[in-house]
Amino acid sequence: MLRLSRLIVLASAVVALVGADRVDAQRSQADTLTGKPPIVIGHRGASGYRPEHTLAAYELAIAMGADYIEPDLVSTKDGVLIARHENDITGTTDVGDRPEFAKRKTTKTIDGVEYTGWFTEDFTLAEIKTLRAKERIPELRPGSAQFDGLYQVPTLQEIIDLAKRKSIETGRVIGIYPETKHPTYFDTIGLSLEEPLAEVLRRNNLDDADDPVFVQSFETANLKQLNKLVNVPLVQLFDEADAQPYDFVVSGDPRTYGDLTSPKELAKISEYADGIGPFKRLIIPSQPVDKNGDGKPDDVNGDGQLSEADNRLAAEPTSLIDDAHAAGLLVHPYTFRNESFFLATDYNQNPEAEYEQFFRLGIDGLFSDNPDTAFVVRNRVACGTQNPKYSQQGRNRRVWTPGGTGNPCL
């Protein structure tokens, strides 16, 4: 019942804002759960252009039209939530070049996988603040790598402060979409993520159903815990079909993410979450090409390595969007990236083709490393217009968020 009431809040906010006639008109353009245009989520900020999870990346994502910015959350030694994709910060900071921290290099097992490097939980916030961020995949993003060494690692509070400030400056509400990373692991070392997250949200008056916040996780138990701590919308993430939530691994639950996509399991998820964040290939599968029949994937583009660019899409999408919507769940797939390395061969190296395909299927939003591209295609598809104001000036127009403050199609 709690979940249903949250959806009612979201839907009623739109009707009150733009009027029933406008909502009905938009429904024909955006076949989403509520009939509203889908949201654009700046994945780790504008991480296609700046080192991920930096204030610069988040600020650029907002300037490019993102409705939400996404910080992945891990903990410092002194219990402060900071934004890093992993608690292993070897590849995203300059910690390896800091002789004062050389002895902190260690080997740990995180979610059943062994890693050697430097980890956030071994550093105080003050020590983390001495580090500088760097591009995670410089070979694919040399432009972003030019900004290596310039930016600090931000705290969740700093990201919220940025979103609030930019909301005032742009006249549109900027939402936050935090993800708790490795919650089971952090629980085992006495640095639980859920209570500090709930406290930060409450302190910033961001813990109600109509606030511009989504909280997401690949695990299930922590989302159920958060469902008791906060009243913001929660999103259950899905990894590849044969993978498992790590809390399932620990508890001996044999179900996989693929199992969780069934209508029966989606109905169970709707009891504690408001949406799902599936790996996009759970919606439109792809598979390697094997033209010569040797049982090995072909290097279709001849670049000497196998990637999504060598795969072909399935002829038809799965029923996941329809099944999730039938359960009352929003659908926010991930991750959309412009580089051809990440694009199935069917898209002919045109990222807009992928965005358009998913928007037309009725997703409620998506995570993008390139929010400028997502913004333009979203407005073209959902608003049914080629008008330049929706691709340029529109970035400073008021846009719809769960808080109900505007709409990109107005």
Q: Taking 70 as the threshold, does the pLDDT of residue 391 lie above it?
A: no
Sign of the Cα pseudo-torsion (316, 319, 325, 331, in order): negative
Query: Which distant-in-sequence residues (6+ apart) come within 8 Å of 100 by Cβ?
Result: none
State the residue for tokens 């990222």.
351
Q: What is the DSSP string of 177-225?
A: --EE-SHHHHHHTT--SHHHHHHHHHHTT--STTSSB-EEES-SHHHHH
Mean pLDDT of the chain: 89
pLDDT confidence of residue 387: 43
pLDDT confidence of residue 410: 57
pLDDT digits (tens, 9 = 90+) for 277-308: 999 999 999 999 988 888 899 988 888 889 99
* 3-state secondary structure (DSSP) of residue 332: coil
Q: Taking 90 as the threshold, does the pLDDT of residue 18 lie above it?
A: no
pLDDT digits (tens, 9 = 90+) for 164-187: 999 999 999 999 999 999 999 999
409 versus 68: the higher-pLDDT residue is: 68
Domains, the chain, in order of start with CATH, read: 38-283+318-324+362-375 (3.20.20.190)
pTM of the model: 0.89
Share of the chain above pLDDT 70, in %: 86
pLDDT confidence of residue 20: 34
Q: Taking 90 as the threshold, does the pLDDT of residue 214 lie above it?
A: yes
Which of the four pLDDT bands, split at 50, 70 and 90, describes residue 3? low
Q: Helices 2-18 & 20-27, crossing angle to 10 degrees?
A: 110
pLDDT digits (tens, 9 = 90+) for 314-336: 989 999 999 999 999 999 999 99
Q: Indicate if 85 belongs to the active site.
A: yes
pLDDT confidence of residue 362: 96
pLDDT confidence of residue 389: 41
Q: Indicate if 332 belongs to the active site.
A: no
Among residues 43, 53, 325, 332, the one annotated as catalytic is 43
Residue of 135, 2, 111, 120 lying closest to 57 (CA atoms): 135
pLDDT confidence of residue 292: 85
Among residues 53, 85, 182, 325, the one annotated as catalytic is 85
Among 231-235, 240-244, 291-295, 362-366, the range scoring the smallest mean pLDDT is 291-295
- Tokens for 53? 């999870």
